[in-house]
Amino acid sequence: MPLYLVVVPSAALIAQLALATPLTERSRAIAIQNSADMIRDIEAYHAEHGHYPASLFAVYPDYSPGIFGVPQYHYEPNGEAYNLTFEQPRFLLDDFGAREFVMYNPRDEHALTSHAVWRLSHPKMQGWYAVQDTGVPHWKYFLFD
Protein backbone atom coordinates (compact mmCIF):
# COMPACT_ATOMS: atom_id res chain seq x y z
CA MET A 1 0.00 0.00 0.00
CA PRO A 2 2.70 2.62 0.83
CA LEU A 3 4.24 2.03 -2.59
CA TYR A 4 0.95 3.09 -4.26
CA LEU A 5 1.01 6.34 -2.30
CA VAL A 6 4.32 7.19 -3.95
CA VAL A 7 3.99 5.63 -7.41
CA VAL A 8 0.49 6.77 -8.39
CA PRO A 9 0.93 10.49 -7.55
CA SER A 10 4.40 10.49 -9.12
CA ALA A 11 3.09 8.89 -12.32
CA ALA A 12 0.21 11.37 -12.45
CA LEU A 13 2.61 14.30 -12.05
CA ILE A 14 4.97 13.01 -14.73
CA ALA A 15 2.06 12.38 -17.13
CA GLN A 16 0.66 15.88 -16.56
CA LEU A 17 4.04 17.52 -17.12
CA ALA A 18 4.70 15.48 -20.27
CA LEU A 19 1.25 15.76 -21.84
CA ALA A 20 0.10 19.27 -20.84
CA THR A 21 1.51 21.14 -23.82
CA PRO A 22 0.56 18.69 -26.61
CA LEU A 23 -2.95 18.14 -25.23
CA THR A 24 -3.56 21.88 -24.80
CA GLU A 25 -2.32 22.59 -28.33
CA ARG A 26 -4.49 19.80 -29.76
CA SER A 27 -7.68 20.88 -28.00
CA ARG A 28 -7.04 24.51 -29.00
CA ALA A 29 -6.60 23.42 -32.64
CA ILE A 30 -9.85 21.41 -32.57
CA ALA A 31 -11.86 24.31 -31.14
CA ILE A 32 -10.38 26.65 -33.76
CA GLN A 33 -11.17 24.17 -36.54
CA ASN A 34 -14.73 23.71 -35.26
CA SER A 35 -15.33 27.47 -35.45
CA ALA A 36 -15.19 27.43 -39.26
CA ASP A 37 -18.98 27.12 -39.70
CA MET A 38 -19.65 29.97 -37.32
CA ILE A 39 -17.09 32.23 -39.01
CA ARG A 40 -18.52 31.33 -42.42
CA ASP A 41 -22.04 32.22 -41.22
CA ILE A 42 -20.88 35.50 -39.67
CA GLU A 43 -19.15 36.46 -42.92
CA ALA A 44 -22.26 35.48 -44.91
CA TYR A 45 -24.34 37.75 -42.66
CA HIS A 46 -21.86 40.56 -43.31
CA ALA A 47 -22.01 39.98 -47.07
CA GLU A 48 -25.82 40.06 -47.02
CA HIS A 49 -26.36 42.98 -44.61
CA GLY A 50 -23.22 45.08 -45.05
CA HIS A 51 -22.28 44.87 -41.38
CA TYR A 52 -21.53 42.30 -38.74
CA PRO A 53 -24.24 41.29 -36.25
CA ALA A 54 -24.52 43.48 -33.14
CA SER A 55 -24.75 40.37 -30.95
CA LEU A 56 -25.06 36.61 -31.12
CA PHE A 57 -26.20 36.23 -27.52
CA ALA A 58 -28.82 33.48 -27.34
CA VAL A 59 -30.14 30.84 -24.99
CA TYR A 60 -28.70 28.03 -27.11
CA PRO A 61 -25.16 28.25 -28.49
CA ASP A 62 -25.71 26.64 -31.89
CA TYR A 63 -21.99 26.36 -32.67
CA SER A 64 -20.09 23.90 -30.50
CA PRO A 65 -16.32 24.01 -29.94
CA GLY A 66 -16.45 20.22 -29.49
CA ILE A 67 -13.95 20.26 -26.61
CA PHE A 68 -14.68 19.16 -23.06
CA GLY A 69 -14.34 22.24 -20.85
CA VAL A 70 -15.10 24.74 -23.64
CA PRO A 71 -18.86 25.23 -23.53
CA GLN A 72 -19.22 27.83 -26.28
CA TYR A 73 -17.74 30.58 -28.40
CA HIS A 74 -18.27 34.21 -27.44
CA TYR A 75 -18.88 36.81 -30.15
CA GLU A 76 -18.60 40.58 -29.92
CA PRO A 77 -18.28 43.38 -32.47
CA ASN A 78 -14.88 45.08 -32.52
CA GLY A 79 -14.71 48.21 -34.66
CA GLU A 80 -15.30 47.24 -38.28
CA ALA A 81 -14.74 43.57 -37.47
CA TYR A 82 -15.48 41.23 -34.58
CA ASN A 83 -13.87 38.96 -32.00
CA LEU A 84 -14.70 35.31 -31.57
CA THR A 85 -13.34 33.99 -28.27
CA PHE A 86 -13.27 30.88 -26.12
CA GLU A 87 -11.53 30.01 -22.88
CA GLN A 88 -9.10 27.12 -23.24
CA PRO A 89 -8.80 24.83 -20.19
CA ARG A 90 -5.27 24.51 -18.84
CA PHE A 91 -3.59 21.87 -16.71
CA LEU A 92 -3.08 22.80 -13.07
CA LEU A 93 0.71 22.91 -13.23
CA ASP A 94 0.89 24.46 -16.71
CA ASP A 95 1.69 28.08 -15.78
CA PHE A 96 -0.06 27.74 -12.41
CA GLY A 97 -3.10 29.97 -12.07
CA ALA A 98 -3.07 31.21 -15.66
CA ARG A 99 -6.24 31.46 -17.72
CA GLU A 100 -6.00 31.14 -21.49
CA PHE A 101 -8.37 32.84 -23.91
CA VAL A 102 -8.18 32.15 -27.63
CA MET A 103 -9.40 34.86 -29.98
CA TYR A 104 -10.16 35.23 -33.68
CA ASN A 105 -10.27 38.65 -35.34
CA PRO A 106 -10.41 38.77 -39.15
CA ARG A 107 -8.44 42.06 -39.24
CA ASP A 108 -5.90 41.00 -36.62
CA GLU A 109 -7.17 43.77 -34.32
CA HIS A 110 -7.37 41.54 -31.25
CA ALA A 111 -8.57 43.26 -28.09
CA LEU A 112 -9.28 41.26 -24.94
CA THR A 113 -9.85 42.94 -21.59
CA SER A 114 -9.68 41.28 -18.20
CA HIS A 115 -12.12 43.61 -16.40
CA ALA A 116 -15.44 44.99 -17.63
CA VAL A 117 -14.88 48.23 -15.72
CA TRP A 118 -11.66 48.80 -17.68
CA ARG A 119 -13.70 48.86 -20.89
CA LEU A 120 -15.65 51.75 -19.41
CA SER A 121 -12.88 53.68 -17.70
CA HIS A 122 -9.67 52.71 -19.53
CA PRO A 123 -10.61 51.24 -22.94
CA LYS A 124 -6.98 50.67 -23.99
CA MET A 125 -6.11 48.53 -20.93
CA GLN A 126 -6.22 44.81 -21.58
CA GLY A 127 -4.64 42.99 -18.64
CA TRP A 128 -3.07 39.94 -20.26
CA TYR A 129 0.58 39.17 -19.55
CA ALA A 130 1.39 37.14 -22.65
CA VAL A 131 0.04 36.75 -26.17
CA GLN A 132 0.99 34.05 -28.66
CA ASP A 133 0.14 33.18 -32.25
CA THR A 134 -1.72 29.91 -32.65
CA GLY A 135 -0.25 29.10 -36.05
CA VAL A 136 -3.68 29.67 -37.63
CA PRO A 137 -4.22 33.01 -39.40
CA HIS A 138 -6.14 35.61 -37.37
CA TRP A 139 -6.11 33.49 -34.18
CA LYS A 140 -4.09 34.38 -31.06
CA TYR A 141 -4.18 33.25 -27.48
CA PHE A 142 -3.81 35.40 -24.39
CA LEU A 143 -2.71 34.45 -20.90
CA PHE A 144 -4.21 36.17 -17.86
CA ASP A 145 -3.35 35.62 -14.21
| Per-residue pLDDT reduced to its tens digit, 45-96 | 999 999 999 999 999 889 999 998 899 999 999 989 999 999 998 766 666 7
| Per-residue pLDDT reduced to its tens digit, 82-135 | 999 999 987 666 667 789 999 999 999 998 888 888 888 887 778 888 999 999
What's the pLDDT score for residue 111?
86
Q: Which residue did the predictor score with more confidence, 31 or 129? A: 31
**Model pTM score:** 0.85
Q: What's the rounded Cα separation, in Å, for the pair 120 and 114?
A: 12
Q: Report helix, strand or coil for 17.
A: helix
Q: Please tell me what DSSP assigns to residue 80.
A: T
Query: Where are the chain's structural domains?
Result: 2-144
Q: How many CB atoms lie within 10 A of CB 8?
A: 10
How many C-alpha atoms does 6 have within 13 Å on its Cβ side? 3
Least confident of 19-28, 37-46, 91-100, 136-145: 91-100
What's the pLDDT score for residue 35?
98
State CA 123 to chain mean position distance. Answer: 21
pLDDT at 8 over 90: no
